[in-house]
Amino acid sequence: MKGKKPVANLMIDASLIGRICDYADLKKKDHVLEIGAGTGNLSLELAKRAGHVYAVEKDARLFGVLCERLKGVGNVEPVCGDALKIALPEFDKVVSNMPYSISRKAVELLLKSNYGLAVLVFQKEFAEKLVAMPGRENYRFISALAQSSSDNELLEEIAPEAFSPMPPVLSAVARMRQRRVLEAGYVAFLHRVFDHRNKRIGGLFRGMDAGPYRDKRGFELSADELFSAYELVS
């Protein structure tokens, strides 16, 4: 139905929640950002292991439930707002079961931030893009962006039964270990080469010496090669 809000698929599998926290190797010194906290199932487990948790939830109805469940939990700070638009607090790890509809925008936002390590739940198809190899059909802008910034791995596949209501797709847990924060110019470069997927680097940046990459298309190049091409044309 037009205008209908997307359904929040809340994670209800306690064993899965525990493993996700294990993957993040949480310590009492850690400040954790959770995007899409829902009703707090993951937030409560994060609170047991981390020093401080920022639990961000956009939906006002869910946020009310979240605040009620977090009463008396002193190291979780509920934040009502859109994580893509609000000023985010300082954090060093991200652990989230975020809405799948914002996956790409959220990852792009995180990769321009200084976060260290992220353990995130995505639709499996999206998660596979984070580790896709150059030349493959699913090697896209987000693949190159993520691989330019982080070491990425898929940790496990998640069946629909781990959520309520059950999503109509398979999900997956991905871990991203940040190597560097990406500068805006490089992100814009990646947008350009992947928005014009079938154009060669030399044709996109006429008048600039793209060196050995002039006859290559963006999707044919690894993250390291793309960064080298960016340095040449910029």
Per-residue pLDDT averaged across 70-83, rounded?
Answer: 97
Asked which of 39-48, 52-61, 108-117, 137-146 is least confident by mean pLDDT, the reply is 108-117
d(Cα 45, Cα 14) in Å, to the nearest integer? 9
pLDDT of residue 102: 97
Average pLDDT value for the chain: 95
Q: Are 180 and 172 in contact (CB under 8 A)?
A: no
Say what the pLDDT of residue 6 is.
58
pLDDT tens readout for residues 176-201 = 999 999 889 999 999 999 999 999 99
Q: Can you tell me the mean pLDDT for 139-161?
A: 98
Predicted confidence at residue 5, as pLDDT, reads 57
Q: Are 69 and 10 in contact (CB under 8 A)?
A: no
pLDDT at 1: 41
Q: Where are the domains of the chain?
A: 10-182, 185-233
Check: CB of residue 107 under 8 Å from CB of residue 87.
Answer: no
**pLDDT tens column, 23-67:** 999 999 999 999 999 999 999 999 999 999 999 999 999 999 999
Task: Assign a CATH topology to domain 10-182.
Answer: Rossmann fold (3.40.50)
